[in-house]
Structure 1
């Protein structure tokens, strides 16, 4: 039986009384990070729309256009764990700046090569792949840097505010990209996209990060990559039961939530019998719900581990019921309202789980833990999209929605069981502490 670890008076406690998480935007370092991410996320959305349109215009082939999406998906699956090893050896701020600068150059090369008639399809695919490889580094580096910028009691709020920049990017980016493509052409929109990554790098440069751990001299040479990978995997899957349960919960959540987003066009066309304009409104409704939840979460005080797990369980139970309800109604207005609820309920998951990981993981393992979660999330997302997509084609969209809803309800049940078997734990500083679960 594994021992339970109780917090003593000497353990650092979260501040439950100070100002809300929105106070972080008054601090120079987090405000710069937030601003850079807001601009970068809009640029990322610009890139997705403009690049796909550019490739389709260039080739006239839908199949060749989908290769872009494949090239952007493969790098996290292949390189994720390996990137985590090296990310834990390097300081996070220079890494994020370097990634943004490399992305600036890679995106800039596409319209430049096109302007000089030197852009072949093979070169375009290579630039897309290399951009995806370096982009795989940025997300885990950003998540790992939060404990070095904000106090522990504001981890959830910081993650929620950063998630809101993604929501803003999804709401603003495609619309701006569409207007830009119509006015100046897809290739010129890519110039704007490159500029957003440059601005993000400039915002990162003045930020101060308190990185307390550094590799000892020669350690990077003596520790083998496979050994470091083993240490990271052992921490996630064997050594710290809380992190393992979070991994299981995150995998189940991604399995259902990613499939739901993927099926939105099917829901619009087959269930609601509406066209692309109404489908766009459904997508916007999802974004509105997610943005509202992210913004609201920044106001809440960061509670104990058990309280946050119960919040996840409750929100995912609501999301699961709403997804099931969506399969039973065919009124666009009611469906849009349910989609808002689904967006808001599911948007609570990532900031809360990321904050718990930042508390429970030693600084020297943050890169490996977050890349492991990202790789697992990408794998289950692909499985969810493929599995529930097959169910929608073979059994119908209603059956697929019921399956997604049940998956989210199962995730809620796992989170509730986890909350009952856990108690508040202190953050891990250097030696990982096993969880308290019997």
Structure 2
């Protein structure tokens, strides 16, 4: 594939700003996630306590989930991203300020996490929905691939940066840096807002209350998915990404301290492997972006992700764990990019915000259940928790297979029509 064609999107200033805004946001999220896990584990010395803390990061969005998609579809997405980025910066910085002033306790941590993740889980589906507005339909897979690259470059940098800074200077400075990244992201989102002409898809009628209109939109979105089985199956496949991400986040720190006898630096080093793997994934997805049977690669990636998870869990040397985490990151990156790109390809423009919001809400509910289970199993045996995490991927693999069957039928029909 011609490099000019691959990177042609970066000739568009609006996409460049979107990419760097995403990169800053993901860098901040990676730093925050790793740092608060370390703080929680050292305070409690329990795997399930990490699960409880991560549930707190999910709870705000599980509550707000039903209205997020409708809110996105009726709001200037770039402006909403600016607001969420600034709010997240302010709530994260509460933790180091409390530590510096000497009044930090677990309740301050919980309060900050709760508020910051309200902003984060509004920001994420908003950010994903912007893709549909800023690029044309022929470039969705490229756009999602570059978004995944931004995510993984951010996570790679976050792992190395957070691990090193925590090991040398402590968690206070690490979280201050995370807060600054969201201010940087807000600046890039503001640049999009200044040039992006927002055209609302629909208006809220004065005769209806906002709440009534929102729930009407949610009902319409769910009916849309029910009436489009292929999109429904691939949406359900996509819902595994967040629960799986949380599961490996819960288990990584205990794995680092127990299995490889590591410290904060080795934790960040291993964690950065996922970023490298997903960068390779982004490149792979760009290479196959012109192919039709993307669902085949998605199904293979799900199955291989399960196997790589088990192989990672039995490592005892941190360098080998790092190598295995690269492989694991490659396949989880494939699942994320390919499932989302299929959804972008087939979902009607009118329902993109509601579809992404529905996926986000479903993922959050599943993540709460998944987090409790994996946290409980992790206190019994880290190896057992990894095995269950791997086996659970069979469910989305089944949904993907069903979606693939329908997708192949459609491709066959389109080919026959074109041939005639």
The equivalent residue for 2:415 is none
Cα RMSD (Å): 3.7
How far apart in 1 are the matches of 2:96 and 2:314? Answer: 47
How far apart in 2 are the matches of 1:393 and 1:162? Answer: 35
Q: Does 1:369 align with 2:358?
A: no
Using the TM superposition, name which of 375-384 and 220-229 deviates more.
Answer: 220-229
Superposed, which structure 2 residues align to 1:382-397 within 5 Å? 382-391=368-377
Q: Aligned-pair distance for 1:96?
A: 0.6
**Distance of aligned partners of 1:171 and 1:219 in 2 relative to their CA distance in 1, 3 Å threshold:** same
Structure 2, unmatched stretches of 5+, are 412-420
Please say if residues 37 and 253 of structure 2, whose CA atoms lie closer than 8 Å, have aligned partners that are also in contact.
Answer: no
Does the residue aligned with 2:191 lie in a helix, a strand or coil?
A: coil
Structure 1 counterpart of 2:132, from 142, 147, 153:
147
How far apart in 1 are the matches of 2:232 and 2:317? Answer: 41
Please say if residues 101 and 198 of structure 1, whose CA atoms lie closer than 8 Å, have aligned partners that are also in contact.
Answer: yes
**Distance of aligned partners of 1:266 and 1:204 in 2 relative to their CA distance in 1, 3 Å threshold:** closer
The equivalent residue for 2:216 is 227
How far apart in 2 are the matches of 1:397 and 1:321? Answer: 16
Q: Deviations over 1:230-269 (max 9, x none)?
A: 2222223x12212210133234565556534543456567
Please say if residues 315 and 346 of structure 1, whose CA atoms lie closer than 8 Å, have aligned partners that are also in contact.
Answer: yes
Q: Deviations over 1:268-327 (max 9, x none)?
A: 677xx53115665543333321222123323442433xx111110122222233345556
Q: Aligned-pair distance for 1:172?
A: 1.9
Q: So what's the TM-score if we normalise by structure 1? A: 0.77
**Distance of aligned partners of 1:191 and 1:252 in 2 relative to their CA distance in 1, 3 Å threshold:** closer
How far apart in 1 are the matches of 2:330 and 2:321? Answer: 14
How far apart in 2 are the matches of 1:51 and 1:335? Answer: 22
**Distance of aligned partners of 1:206 and 1:317 in 2 relative to their CA distance in 1, 3 Å threshold:** same
**Distance of aligned partners of 1:257 and 1:179 in 2 relative to their CA distance in 1, 3 Å threshold:** closer
How far apart in 1 are the matches of 2:385 and 2:253? Answer: 13
Superposed, which structure 2 residues align to 1:279-428 within 5 Å? 281-304=269-292, 307-325=293-311, 336-391=322-377, 400-409=385-394, 411-423=396-408
Q: Does 1:160 align with 2:145?
A: yes
Structure whose alpha-carbon radius of gyration is higher: 1
Q: Aligned-pair distance for 1:420?
A: 2.3
Q: Aligned-pair distance for 1:24?
A: 1.8
Greater share of residues in helix: 2
Structure 1 counterpart of 2:65, from 68, 80, 100:
80
Does the residue aligned with 1:347 lie in a helix, a strand or coil?
A: helix
How far apart in 1 are the matches of 2:306 and 2:168? Answer: 42
Structure 2 counterpart of 1:244, from 232, 239, 243:
232
Does the residue aligned with 1:298 lie in a helix, a strand or coil?
A: helix
Q: Deviations over 1:364-398 (max 9, x none)?
A: 3322221221122223234334435555666x555
The equivalent residue for 1:23 is 8
